[in-house]
Amino acid sequence: MMKKYLFIALVGIAIQAKVFAQTIFYQRLSDAAIALTSQQVTYDPSYFKLTYPNGDVPANKGVCTDVVIRAYRKLGIDLQKLVHEDMQANFSKYPKNWGLKHTDKNIDHRRVPNLMTFFTRKGASKPITTKAADYLPGDIVCWNLGGGITHIGLVVNKKSTDGKRNLIVHNIGSGQLLEDCLFNFRIIGHYRFQL
C-alpha cells in the first residue's frame, strides 16, 4: 500500500514539474516577443532569399509572421525548419493559396495560413472564445482582417490599461508593436505551441 502512495506522489510531482517547465517556457516566449518591440522594423512583405536553417529576413524588416518566428528563435526553435520539414512530408495538407507545386523554405513559414496548419497539425490548437482570460501569455492568435487578409501575433504577460486583457506583440504595418488588440478583429486561430 505504501508503494502505491509513493508512486502516486511521484506521478503528482512529475506532473507539477512538467506544468512548471511549460509555464517557464511560455513566460520566456512572452518576454522574447516583448523584447522584439525595441527593434526598429519596417513592414516589408517582400520575398527574401533566406539561409536554411535559421534563416531570417533583414533585422530591420518583417511582417506579422516574423514576430512569431523571431520570438521562437530566441528560444532556440526554428519555425522555418520545422514548417519546411512538415510541408515536405505533408504538402497536400497545406493550403494551396499561392499556386505552388512544391515547398519554398524562403517563404512557407512566413505565411499565416501555413503557420495555422502547422500548429494545428502539431496539436497546438486551443478554443477560440470571446473570453480574454482564455488567451494566456505565450499563446499565438490569428485573425481575419477581411478581404482575404490574415494576421498573427503573440499574447504577452502585460495587461491592457483596464487590466482585462493581455496585450499582443504583432506587426500589422507599423513595426513590431505591443498593443491592446486581442478582439479588434475576428479571431480565426488560437494556439499554444511548444516542442
**What H or E segment, with its residue span, contains residue 157?**
strand 149-159
Structural domain count of the chain: 1
Helix (H) or strand (E) holding 178: strand 177-179
Rounded Cα distance between 189 and 95, Å, is: 15
Give the contacts of 165 (CB within 8 A, at least 6 positions apart).
132, 135, 159, 180, 182, 183
Q: What is the pLDDT of residues 119-163, one digit of tens each?
A: 999 999 999 999 999 999 999 999 999 999 999 999 999 999 999
Res 22: pLDDT? 63
Residues (pLDDT < 50) of the chain are 6, 9-15, 17-20
Query: Residue 15's domain spans which residues?
Result: 2-191
DSSP 38-90: TS--EE--------SSS----TTEE-HHHHHHHHHHHTT--HHHHHHHHHHH-
pTM: 0.89
